[in-house]
Amino acid sequence: MTTVIKCGNCGEILYEGVRVCPKCGSSKKDYSVSAKSGISVSTDMKMKHKRVGKGTIHEEVNRHKKSADSKLTKGVREIITIDREKKPSTWDQTVTDAESGEITHEEHTTLKEHNESKKHRN
């Protein structure tokens, strides 16, 4: 929030505690207060495509989340696609800066390799 004090007579900007305007000598004051706020909206989506007798064959997750990188203050958008119809099944991940849309991480591998690397990280 910002407060600006001006002389009520000539419009000269006055500093806190000044009783009379140094320019015109008036004691009238005009106060203006301004405030700024914002709101942002993001959507998340998760989709599963199932086939009778085969279960889930395709999954897609599109979500906004906080980033571990302090430079990415608006967070990141993560898109993960799992396709079990392809042989071998694939796992694709794309992470973009939520503000600029620039790709910050991209990974394309088989689902098996992804799951094995996940086990080693834990």
Domain locations in the chain? 2-34, 45-121
- Both tokens of 26, joined, read 């008036």
pLDDT one-digit tens code per residue, 44-83: 999 999 989 888 889 999 999 999 888 999 999 999 999 9
Q: Note the pLDDT tens digit of each residue in 4-49.
A: 999 999 999 998 889 999 999 999 999 998 888 887 777 899 999 9
- 88-112: pLDDT as tens digits: 999 999 999 999 999 999 999 999 9
pTM tops 0.75, yes or no: no
37-66: burial string, b at 16+ Cβ within 10 Å, e else: eeeeeeeeeeeeeeeeeeeeebbeeeeeee
pLDDT of residue 13: 93
